[in-house]
Amino acid sequence: MNNNHLSQKELLYRFTLVIFIVLISISILIFRLWTIQVRDVEIYREKAENNRIWPQRIKADRGKILTRDGTILADNRPSADVIFVPGDCPAVYYKNTAETLENLLNIPSFWILEQIENFNTEPFTQITIKRDISRSDWIRLEENSFQLPGIYITVQPQRRYPLGNTAGLIIGYLNEITKEELGLYDGKYYTGDFIGRTGIERYYENILKGTDGYMTVTKYASGRPQLRTDRYGNLLLVRKDTRGHLLTEETELRQRPLPGRNLTLTLDIELQKLCENLLTNQQGAIVVLDADTGAVFAIASNPNYDPNIFVTKGKDAERLELLQNKQPNRMINRAISEQYPPGSVFKVLLAATALEKGVITSKTTFFCPGSFKIGGTGREWKCWQKYGHGMVTVREALAYSCDVFFYNVGLKLGVDNISEYCHKIGLGEKTGIDLPGEVPGLIPNREWKAKINAHKPVWEQKWYPGDTVNLSIGQGSCATTPLQNAVLMATIINGGHRIFPHLNADFIPPKPEEQIFSKNTLETVITGMRLCVEPIGEARAGTGKLAKVEGITVIGKTGSAQIMSLEHHKKYKTEEEIPWEMRDHAWFVAGVIDRQPKIALCVLIEHGHHGSSAAAPIAQQIINFFYNRESKKDIQLIAKEPIGEFDN
């Protein structure tokens, strides 16, 4: 009885304890339900809403790039892209998803897993797996969507360059922004976005890049959603995602993307095409400017490339080859990003400076016997004309490119005056054109030589008369770009004012600053450069006669810039035997003074031997095309005035 009695007491105790625990548990549960549904209802409502909706970024269209006549150089087309959102895929399925994508799209699974690892702290990042997929790829993905959690297909704008290679080096190219760069732009870019790397695409990135929009969609795992309206009673749109889930677009949570601004360039597209065609099968550059405003009508460089290579599928091999910078480098815009010894075109600057400083006059003469020596030194500088030019004035020296005349002028002028006027015009410094990658060139002077030879003996730091002699004909360490030489020509024919070359048609040129050269100086120089192209009176035409265009007054100057000393050429009997890479560069600068708009141009043919034969005929075709094509309506003939003493 006693044992039985104790057993009943123990049972009652245990029963009471269980009842107590149950009551406590129910109380806790009720309290918890109260906190969730009453006290913290707003917090959990927000969390539920976040689970219910998925924010989707809507990429903005990039601004178009057009020419002044409306020709499209760059625009956008729709592209179906595959993206992966790791946060929508359980981690245990990462490997299976990557392997399935490898089988369907031929994308290495290890690369996909690397991308996931790179963004492990940002699980809802939209990782671009493949761009611009084909319709067959899209169908395969739809058929296997049950194996691809977190995989979505979105339609995004993709860059397109309708004219291919034409103006490709001016437009530049885009490629995908790196993870390291994302932090530099304060949330303006996301993984998978493209950014301008060169050319106009890079220089005007802030203008061309639009502002992305967004929308949020409601997800239902199964079943049909109830009819839903927004707060104004408007029916919400219903659609399905690639996994078959019903999606409801929350119209009140939508921000439309703002496309980038369109950009109009000053380019004359037909002239640009002509210049690029004229450079076919040779390396070089051509620049054509409005001499009064600095507007760029054409800026051609060869070899070049098609920027579509960087935004089109199936071009991986071509992309890799371009980015390896194989020679000749097709990515280099030779008009602004390469510098060359200017050779005899530098004589234009020297003549104008000497006249302006009063070192010579239009009647000053020097005798050219075919060579030149400084005092009692044994060193001899040759004139290109072996037997000399005889007694010549500055006009004749420009027309016939007499080296000895400019050796004498350079010594009388001095390196300080030469350097001063070079920088006034813009030689030896960037012109400021609205393209990235411009190089400044080099106009050597005393300070420069002392600086680069600071580690050498004192006598190697000193500037010598021989250095001035070399500089006087654009040789030695002197280096300029084709664009700079076109700017020099513009200064000569626009009344002596420095211009600022530009491609943006909305650019407003600053008012002309100081007049660098006087009217008398310019008349003398222009007469000499006109004589270079056509006979004046009884004087025969000079080295640029192949640039003559009937009915148009063309002025010009040829140049042949040595890149190897003459000693290296002596072992070859003819010029044709000289290896291509050892040949002189061929230059021709020109301008038109009796038409509107006045154009200034520069032609450079790398290793072309002579400007007179390789570059001047190209300038002739450009000028003839620009002023004589039937479609040109805005060209006016200017009344021709006598220029200098050769006019009758």
pLDDT digits 0-9 by tens, 40-87: 766 666 555 555 555 667 788 999 999 989 999 999 998 888 888 887
Residue 263 CA neighbour count, 13 Å, CB half: 26
- Asked if pLDDT for residue 335 goes beyond 90, the answer is yes
* In contact, 203 and 436? CB cutoff 8 Å: yes
Instruction: Say how many C-beta atoms besides its own lie within 10 A of residue 344's C-beta.
Output: 25
What is the pLDDT, as a whole number, of residue 42?
67
Per-residue model confidence as pLDDT tens digits over 588-615: 999 999 999 999 999 999 999 899 999 9
How far is the CA of 498 from the CAs of 296, 488, 491, 598, in angstroms? 15, 8, 5, 15
- Assign 183 a pLDDT band (cuts: 50, 70, 90): confident
| Positions of E strands within 407-484 | none
Beta bridge partners of 599: 290
Q: What is the DSSP letter of 165?
A: T
Read off the pLDDT of each residue in 203-218 and give the average, rounded to a whole number: 83
> Is 556 or 97 the better-scoring residue by pLDDT?
556
Which of 439-453, 477-491, 557-571, 632-646 is the least confident region? Answer: 632-646
Enclosing H/E stretch for 263: strand 263-264
pLDDT score recorded for residue 45: 61
Average pLDDT, the chain: 85
* Mean pLDDT of the region 213-229: 50
- Give 345's pLDDT tier (boundaries 50, 70, 90): very high
What are the tens digits of pLDDT across the range 105-142?
888 888 888 888 887 777 777 788 888 888 888 888 88
What's the average model confidence in pLDDT over 629-633? 56
Phi-psi region of 172 (alpha: psi -120 to 50; beta: other; left: phi over 0): left
Q: What is the mean pLDDT of residues 353-381?
A: 89
Query: What is the reported pLDDT for 620?
Result: 96
**Residues 6 or more apart from 296 whose CB is under 8 A from it?**
265, 266, 267, 287, 288, 289, 290, 433, 501, 502, 503
Contact (Cβ atoms closer than 8 angstroms) between residue 403 and residue 382: yes
Looking at 188-192, 449-453, 586-590, which range is the least confident one? 188-192
> Averaged over 476-484, what is the pLDDT?
95
Q: What is the mean pLDDT of residues 561-583?
A: 74
- Tell me, what's the pLDDT at 10? 79
Q: What is the dihedral of CA 639, 640, 642, 643, to 10 degrees?
A: 120
Predicted local distance difference test score (pLDDT) of residue 488: 97
Residues 6+ apart with CB under 8 A from 485: 287, 342, 345, 587, 589, 602
Top-confidence residue, 479 or 646: 479
Domains of the chain: 55-255 (3.90.1310.10), 343-637 (3.40.710.10)
Average pLDDT over residues 383-411: 94
Cross-strand pairs, 220: 246
Q: Are 114 and 108 in contact (CB under 8 A)?
A: no
* pLDDT(178) > 90: no
Please compute the mean of the pLDDT values over residues 349-374 and round it to a whole number.
94
Q: Which pLDDT score, from 0 to 100, does residue 386 have?
A: 86
Determine the pLDDT at residue 235: 42
Q: Which of the 8 DSSP states describes residue 224?
A: P
What is d(CA 430, CA 440) in angstroms, rounded to the nearest whole number? 4
Least confident of 85-99, 233-247, 337-351, 534-548: 233-247
Residue showing tokens 């998803």: 97
Query: Do 351 and 170 form a contact (C-beta atoms < 8 A)?
Result: no
pLDDT of residue 567: 63
Q: Write out pLDDT tens, residues 428-440.
A: 999 999 999 999 9
The yes-or-no verdict on residue 218 having pLDDT over 70 is no
* Token pair belonging to 501: 């070359």
% of the chain beyond a pLDDT of 70: 86
Q: Which long-range contacts (CB under 8 A, 24 or more apart) does 186-194 make?
A: 190/57, 190/125, 190/126, 191/119, 191/125, 191/126, 191/127, 191/128, 192/81, 192/83, 192/126, 192/127, 192/128, 193/59, 194/159, 194/311
pLDDT for the residue numbered 593 = 92
Over the stretch 450-475, which tens digit does the pLDDT of each residue have? Answer: 999 999 999 999 999 999 999 999 99
Quick check: helix, strand or coil at residue 380?
Answer: strand
Say yes or no to pLDDT of 159 above 50.
yes
End-to-end CA distance of the chain: 152
- Give the pLDDT confidence score for residue 54 in this predicted structure: 59
Lowest mean pLDDT among 165-179, 244-258, 389-403, 459-473: 244-258
